[in-house]
Structure 1
Amino acid sequence: MSTPAMDEPLLSVRGFRNLFLAGAVSQLGSQISYVALPLLAVTALGAGAGEVGLLAALGTLTVLLLGLPAGAWVDRVRRRPVMIATDLLRAGALLSIPVAWWGGWLSMGQLYLVAVLVGAGTLLFDVASYSIVPALVGRERLTAANTLLVGTGAGMDVAGRSAAGVLVQVAGAPVAILLDALSYLWSAAWLRGVAEPRTTAREPDPMGRRIAEGVRFLFGNPILVTALLQGTMANLAFPLCSVLLPVVIVRQLGQPEWVLGAYLAVGGLGVLAGSSSAHAIGRRLGTGRAAWLTSLVTTPAAIVVPFLSAGGPWVWASAVAWFVLTFRTGLNNVLLVSLRQRVTPDAMLGRMTATMRLLLTGALGAGGLLAAAVGELWGTGPALALGAAVMALSWLPYVRSPLRHEP
């Protein structure tokens, strides 16, 4: 399969267009469930801070078990069937929630199981998806392609999170989760039109050897190590600042569900703004310099986030700080992902992506567990403060790193 010409619009490339359309709607549904699932646990099952934190952590901690084998496996198989199968897995798992709700047997145990299945499906899907993009568009157009993918995903975040609070209030959380399940079926249908790039046959290697090769490659590249360290700090901090938001906003401050949806939507707007401007900023400053300077300027805003617990106007001051922090996330999601794909050979993409995903998503899971523990032992305020402190220091890995000078 040949890559498209540089002057050919990306959305005229059939494989990339179908990947784009598949991801756009499923991302919308995922953000609805992002709000609806913890709200269902809090409002219908009486979940507290510990249970909400565990629910958030399970979907990400699944990566700790499957991350490294997933990358080694995806590097040896066709990637389109993997993405379709995981879409169907996630759809089935989510469909079980409204069925159980209407049948009267929904429990936290089922929500935990669904979180694990959806987390496993998302891991395999993302590893395959990131690995297939360079073959669809060519390495020289990765930043433009990721700007489109991440920017559209961020737009769906805004729409999904904005609609989720209202949708839950009007139709109920089970209906909102049902819509997410249908979005995965949509994604599977569009992925059928993604042409599988031809790959060179490889001699079978032991799984352990392939995993070790991927780990050595990542930790032997100082650019990838820098991206990993700063991403790990940010991913540890974000759950501490966000997992307990349903408890803080809905239960402690007594705000309606739409306020939670609006707060989260502000974060989606930040990701959208950052990802949409990443290509232009990266071309002007250079990829590494743009990521470094943006981190240095934006991370101090984290100090404002814990004041959310004071209520009143501090809710919206905290939301503005959340916008600033997620702007950085959107920019990094384009520039650093493109850089990771650019410096990694095709035969190593799955393993690099999975190893990176293992550690970054593991940090998210650890942050969720830490939020649950701190929230239960000392309250939501200290959890928010700890997350803000880690986020405010997450620019440190760039110091003296060669990534700062990458074009």
Structure 2
Amino acid sequence: MSTYSVASTNFRRFWAGQTLSQFGTRIGTLGLSVTAVELLDANTRQVGVLAAASTVCYLLIGLPAGAWVDRLLKRKTMMWAALTRCVTILAVPLLWLTGHLRIEVLYVVAVLVGVVSVFFDVAYQSYVPVLVPEEDIGAANARLEATAQVSTLGGPALAGLLMRVVSAPVVMLVDAFTYLVSFLSLSVTKDAEQRPAPAAGSERRLLTDVGEGLRFVRDQPVIRRLAVSMGVSNFFATVVSTLVPVLVMRTIGFDSFMLGLVMTCGAAGGVLGALLAPKARQRFSAGAVMSCGLLTAAFFTVANPVAAVVAPHGKILAGAVLLLGEFGMTVGALLFNVTQVSLRQTLCPKNLLGRMNASIRFVVWGSMPLAALVAGWLGSAIGVTATLWVGVVGSVATVLPILTIDRVMTSGLGPAEARKPKAVR
């Protein structure tokens, strides 16, 4: 199968469209949260339910989605998912303008966007090895992650600023527009992928395909450890992120602009983390880079409850703590994420990429709706600050499954290229 290098116009076309799509996604995420908290006066439990609605689809349809994606052309799957997200998001400003917007509508929108995002994300993570040659996979992932973060640098802050002039639902028009651009960029991207031929004798059964993906993740020792680590990490990260809007806008008393500024500062940290990851892999092992990233993220997560503690003594100090914490946390998260994504794509056969990614997301993202509900329940029961401390303690445990991952790779269970630092162009 012919592929296009990361220097090709074809890759840059795909890269630009998905960067802008990430920009809009961050605006839409902020817009839904602000709409719920400010316009619909959602309580802590309702904020938790909204966050759960956005991710529950990974738990419900994540596994069969992987099998379907492996049977379909990945670019076409992403195109229709992008267009569907565009249309669905448009419902929020339209219903707000007609006076029919309710918290239940936000739940439905979150679920529908979540459903198509499952297909888009599984296809997206499986598409890079189709689009570029194997030696460019690390570079492609680093560029996609870095520019996704760059594109969000001004997004949340701009969204917060716009919300001072127009309402949050109207700002979500920008999100819809970026999904349309994503659709158009994919429509002009070229690849040589062909739909897989059906199994000899008869069509493969869906459960058989799903089972293959799950068994691969279970039996591949490196990917199994990554799945466990990411599952724990996302659970506690979701506990924290679900309550950040409540922390910033209610507990401390900032407005939506400050919430956007905090998210923008996190995006700046993400840029640094994504740029550092390929350079770190040239000097250190994959396990060392990923462990360092997770521990860095856990350390800076402490900033959220600390900001709540220092807020009574000065909101400026609390704001500075929040900004520093979000920056450092995202540096660590991207160091880990760029490295683990490239490692998984290298270890997995191309015909299993969709099912492998879907199985991982079933474990990783499937924990997120439960975490969001736990965050809402604990936030009401013991308070926002105490719940954030629970998230901090749990985030430290995320590094445990990968502490010995280098030893596993050097034992001959992983490919040679995964067992040593690999130069990324």
TM-score range, shorter chain: over 0.9
* Pairs within 5 Å for 1:373-384: 373-384=377-388
Matched, 1:341 2:338: no
Shift of 1:403: 5.8
Aligned AA for 2:253? G
Is 1:192 the counterpart of 2:191? The answer is no
Structure 1 position 298, deviation (Å): 4.7
Q: Shift of the alpha carbon at 1:3?
A: 2.2
1:6-405 to 2 correspondence within 5 Å?
A: 10-14=6-10, 16-199=11-194, 200-203=196-199, 204-310=203-309, 311=311, 312=315, 313-401=317-405, 402=407
1:285 Cα deviation from its structure 2 partner: 0.8
Q: Report the counterpart of residue 416 of structure 2 in structure 1.
A: none
Residue identity matched to 1:282:
R
Shift of residue 62, structure 1, vs aligned partner: 1.1
Q: How many residues align?
A: 402
Q: CA deviation at 1:93?
A: 0.8
Cα shift readout 1:202-232 (whole Å, capped 9, x = no counterpart): 3121000110110000010111012112211
Instruction: Report the CA distance shift for 1:155/1:58 in structure 2 as closer, same or farther (over 3 A).
Output: same
TM-score of the superposed pair, with normalisation by structure 2:
0.91
C-alpha deviations, 1:286-328, integer Å up to 9, x for none? 3232112333455233333311212131332243223222111
Greater shift after overlay, 354-363 or 287-296? Answer: 287-296
Whichever residue aligns with residue 334 of structure 1, its letter is V
Q: CA deviation at 1:152?
A: 0.7
- Please tell me whether the aligned partners of residues 301 and 392 of structure 1 are also in contact (alpha carbons under 8 angstroms): no
Question: In the alignment, residue 237 of structure 1 is paired with which amino acid?
Answer: F
* 3-state SS, counterpart of residue 395 of structure 1: helix
CA distance in structure 1 between the aligned counterparts of 2:123 and 2:361, rounded to whole angstroms: 12
Structure 1 CA distance, aligned partners of 2:216 and 2:29? Answer: 33
Indicate the larger mover: 43-52 or 159-168: 159-168
SS in 1 for 2:2: coil
Cα distance in 2 for partners of 1:59, 1:298 equals 23
Report the 3-state secondary structure (helix = DSSP H, G, I; strand = E; otherwise coil) of the residue aligned with 2:61. helix
Which stretch shifts more, 207-216 or 326-335?
Answer: 326-335
Partner-residue secondary structure (3-state), 2:78: helix
Report the secondary structure of 2:163's partner residue.
helix
Deviations 1:345-383 (A, max 9, x none): 011000000011111111222221111111122211122
Give the whole-Å Cα distance in 1 for the aligned partners of 2:379 and 2:185: 42
My pick for the range that moved more, 368-377 or 347-356, is 368-377
Q: Is residue 306–residue 318 contact of structure 1 (8 Å, CA) maintained in 2?
A: no
Identity percentage of aligned residues: 32
Q: CA RMSD in A?
A: 1.6
Name the SS of the counterpart of 1:194 in structure 2. Answer: coil
Deviation at 1:188, TM superposition (A): 0.5
Inter-partner Cα distance in structure 2 for 1:293 and 1:251: 33
Aligned partners of 1:222 and 1:162: how far apart in 2? 41
**Aligned partner of residue 42 in structure 2, secondary structure:** coil
Is the Cα–Cα contact under 8 Å of residues 60 and 365 in structure 1 kept in the other structure?
yes
Give, in angstroms, the shift of residue 112 of structure 1. 0.3
Change (3 A) 1:160 1:19: same
Where does residue 2 of structure 1 map in the other structure?
Answer: 2
Q: Name the stretch that deviates more: 234-243 or 70-79.
A: 234-243
Deviation, structure 1 residue 282: 0.9
Deviations 1:155-214 (A, max 9, x none): 122221221211212222012111101111111011111224333523121000110110
C-alpha distance in 2, partners of 1:276/1:72?
33
Give structure 2 stretches of 5+ with no counterpart. Answer: 411-418, 421-425
Q: 1:392 offset after TM fit, Å?
A: 2.1
One-letter code aligned to 2:371: G
Q: 1:45 to 1:272 in 2, by over 3 A?
A: same
